């Protein structure tokens, strides 16, 4: 079993896809270890996405991510990181396969509805960004 950190981004919350995406999480066999609804401060969005600091989209991404609420969840499943990335599809919804969450719901490459960790190591770092150990189901 492994873990991943997912976010339902502001565009998907505004477009009322929280339920659709949580249903998909359940259908894909993930166990929810932790779940929160919150609004990021811009400084925290900048910290979360610091690997992208200096990229042309960084400032707008951090502004978009902190302008309205998000849902964050720590999920567990076999092969969790890759499975979730397969479920969400390519970063740019125009390149995402039909049936993936980004193909169905995303507005643009920037406002692309969902996040998923990109490695087991980053999943642990991202989970600890949002959740204290005692906030995760054992």
List residues with catalytic annotation.
115
Of 54-73, which residues contact ligand IDP (CB under 6 A)? 57, 61
91 is in the binding site of which of Mg ion, ligand IDP, none (Cβ under 5 to 8 A by kind)?
ligand IDP
129 binds ligand IDP (CB under 6 A): no
Min CB(9)–Mg ion separation in Å: 12
Answer with the entry of Mg ion, ligand IDP, none that 109 interacts with (C-beta below 5 to 8 A by kind). ligand IDP
Q: How far apart are CA 42 and CA 39, in angstroms?
A: 9
The residues, ordered by sequence, that sit 6+ positions from 117 with a Cβ below 8 Å of its Cβ are 4, 5, 6, 81, 84, 123, 126
Write the CB contacts of 128 (distance below 8 Å, at least 6 apart in sequence).
Answer: none
Contact code string over 72-101 relative to ligand IDP, x by CB under 6 A: -------------------x----------
Question: Rg of the chain over CA atoms, in angstroms?
Answer: 14
- Dihedral over Cα of 97, 67, 34, 119: its sign: positive
Taking contact as CB under 5 A, which single stretch among the options 10-18, 23-31, 76-84, 114-122 is the one that binds Mg ion? 114-122
The answer to the question of residue 112 lying near ligand IDP (CB under 6 A) is yes
Nearer to ligand IDP, 67 or 135 (CB): 67
CA atoms within 13 A on the CB side of 134: 0
């Amino acid at each position: 079993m492994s873990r991943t950190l997912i976010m339902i981004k502001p565009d998907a919350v505004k477009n009322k896809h929280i339920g659709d995406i949580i249903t998909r999480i359940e259908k894909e066999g993930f166990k929810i270890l932790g779940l929160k609804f919150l609004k990021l401060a811009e400084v925290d969005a900048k910290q979360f996405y610091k690997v992208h600091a200096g990229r042309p989209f960084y400032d707008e991404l951090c502004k978009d991510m902190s302008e309205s609420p998000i849902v964050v969840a720590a999920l567990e499943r076999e092969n969790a990181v890759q499975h979730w990335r397969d479920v969400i599809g390519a970063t740019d919804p125009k390149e995402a396969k039909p049936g993936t969450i980004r193909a169905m719901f995303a507005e643009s490459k920037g406002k692309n509805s969902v996040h998923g960790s990109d490695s087991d190591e980053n999943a642990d770092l991202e989970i600890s960004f949002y959740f204290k150990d005692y906030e995760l189901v054992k």
